[in-house]
Amino acid sequence: MTQLGRKPTGNVGEFEKSDGLQRRDVGRSGNGEWKQLWYNGFTDYQRLDQTLDNNTMTNVTSQLGSTAFLNCPGKNIGDRGQISWIRRRDWHILSSGMFTYTNDERFQILHGESSDDWTLQIKYVQKRDNGTYECQISTGTGLISHYVNLNIVIPEALILGSGEHHVDTGSVISLVCIIEKSPTPPQYVFWYHNERMINYDTARGGITVETEPGTKTQSRLTIRGARDTDSGNYTCSASNTEPASIFVFVTEGDKMAAILRRKNSAISVSSTCDSIKIFTFVLIILIR
């Protein structure tokens, strides 16, 4: 597959006349007028409604940071045929034939010499690339539009358990992280203790990380012989993934029991207060 050329320009309206197309500043035109400027004449523009039945739509899902390929089949377009890619959210003309009209070098046109496919390639896709793209095929008999909905998915990390984890001094800290919404399993899952990566921490010792890639990648962090210095924030993260964090408290047995008693007592008091409020509310309604 051959990567085709780029025609640099500072202004999308600064085009030359070629292939029978009259091109001028479309950035300042209305949404309807720009189409008339781009077609091979007003007659082709009027044929738009007649070719709607030939329009097609496909969906493409790409993971954040990956490369997206948006394919457009341009069969039998003839000598006068022209294929253009347009980003619908801002009506930006990204390409026409061999050339791209954007300063964003992530966009390229891929087209083999003997191929009927014109593929819009977007490298390192970002959140803002999400949306609909139109491949416009102009032929001698009319116009056909092929729409591609590009959906950018962002994997998310989730650490099992609540927002905090309590362990006794000398015991084992065991945390499990799940990577969800990832079409492609991550190659690596990294664990951080207070912003310091600990996957390969040989100085501390007793730390192991086991990762099982899959539809839902699972990574387990194990720290043996928990110490006071092991307390703090733990974060699980992978490439192009929303991270997850949990706070770990390492305390002696007696202190741990006291903390848990205070926590359960606070929950009980809160539940009792809520019950009193509900009873009072119901009583007021009955009196009225």
**Residue whose C-alpha is closest to residue 94's, from 70, 120, 69:** 120
CA nearest 185: which of 122, 236, 222, 240? 240
Q: Which tokens in the block code for residue 287?
A: 């009196």
Both structure tokens of 8: 């640099």
| Tens digits of pLDDT across the chain (288 residues) | 444 454 444 443 333 333 333 333 333 334 444 444 444 444 444 444 333 346 788 999 999 999 999 999 877 665 566 889 999 999 999 999 888 999 999 999 998 877 888 999 999 999 999 999 999 988 777 788 999 999 999 999 999 987 889 999 999 999 999 999 888 888 899 999 998 999 999 899 999 999 999 889 999 999 999 999 999 999 999 988 999 999 999 998 755 554 554 455 444 435 545 655 665 555 566 666
Do 74 and 118 form a contact (C-beta atoms < 8 A)? yes
pLDDT in tens, 51-92: 334 678 899 999 999 999 999 987 766 556 688 999 999 999
Q: How far is CA 196 from the centre of its chain?
A: 26
| DSSP strands (E only) in the chain | 56-63, 68-73, 82-87, 92-96, 99-100, 107-110, 117-122, 131-139, 142-153, 156-159, 164-168, 173-180, 189-193, 196-197, 207-212, 217-223, 232-238, 244-251
- C-alpha separations of 285 from 19, 77, 154, 277 in Å: 80, 76, 49, 13
Instruction: Give the separation between CA 210 and CA 213, rounded to whole angstroms.
Output: 10
CA dist., res. 200 & res. 119, Å (int): 42
With 0-12 / 13-18 / 19 or more C-beta atoms within 10 angstroms meaning exposed / middle / buried, residue 236 is buried
Distances (CA, A) of 3 to 6, 107, 109: 9, 11, 6
